Amino acid sequence: MVDRCFNNSDGDFLIVPQQGEILITTEFGKMMVEPNEICVIQQGMRFSVDVFGETRGYILEVYGTNFELPDLGPIGANGLANPRDFLCPVAWYEDRQVATGYTIINKYQGKLFTCQQDFSPFNVVAWHGNYTPYKYNLKNFMVINCVAFDHADPSIFTVLTAKSTRPGVAIADFVIFPPRWGVADHTFRPPYYHRNCMSEFMGLIKGHYEAKEEGFQPGGASLHSMMTPHWPRR
């Protein structure tokens, strides 16, 4: 993105690199985001992306609300994604004139608009507050799962949630199934055949997914639409 940037006026972007690191420049500073990290660009923030070779990943967009940490409830004060592990940029700016024009691409109500200006939009010298872009390394996720029977709801793997007005049903949950130690060694406790009131989109960053070891490669994805019966194949 040479001499151009993007601005989403409709909602938040959650970006999940799967292959290749990306350098994201924002009005708040720069973030280098690598596979196994995620970043969130909140509504209205201008940003550009630089890549360094073959790059791919996933992007989730939500409307009408912002991502936040899930309520821990009986888990207590610690567990899942801890606030201390989220990083935001250090202020950085460039005072640069662009004779050929700097292009701003704005997404507004589902449509794209462009305008040009003769200077870089990343000329913000300093900022304060907590409405910022941020990133998180998924290796810092504290897994909670020790069961005597049954299959725990996947909500215990929620990193970030975008809440709705309906209790128990989010607009979107970002959930991960990271490497973890199962106390029931040499066993697999599959979830029963079930249906969900939320659609499940599942992508693989690295390694293999224990319930679909064959035919589900890094960079791939599957979709279980809401109320579609499904269960892991093993």
Active site positions, annotated: 151
Q: Which long-range contacts (CB under 8 A, 24 or more apart) does 173-176 make?
A: 173/70, 173/198, 174/14, 174/38, 174/60, 174/67, 176/138, 176/141
How far is it, in rounded angstroms, from Cα 26 to Cα 43? Answer: 12
Among 57, 54, 53, residue whose Cα is nearest residue 14: 57
Token couple for 29: 């500073």
Q: In what helix (H) or strand (E) does residue 56 lie, and over which residues does it extend?
A: strand 56-63
Instruction: Scan for tokens 């998180």, then name that residue.
Output: 136
27 is known to lie in a ligand binding site: no
Indicate the burial class of 27 (C-beta count within 10 angstroms; 0-12, 13-18, 19 or more): buried
By C-alpha distance, which of 21, 30, 26 is closest to 57?
Answer: 21
Please check if 108 is assigned to a binding site: no
The radius of gyration of the chain's CA atoms, rounded to the nearest angstrom, is 20
**Is 209 annotated as belonging to a binding site?**
yes
- Tokens found for residue 172: 């979107």
φ/ψ of 19, rounded to 5, equals -145, 130
Question: At residue 7, what are phi and psi to the nearest 5 degrees?
Answer: -140, 120
Establish whether 200 is an annotated binding residue. Answer: yes
Q: Which residues are annotated as a binding site?
A: 194, 200, 209, 230
Q: Which residues participate in the annotated binding site for Fe cation?
A: 194, 200, 230
Q: Which residues fall in the annotated binding site for homogentisate? A: 209, 230
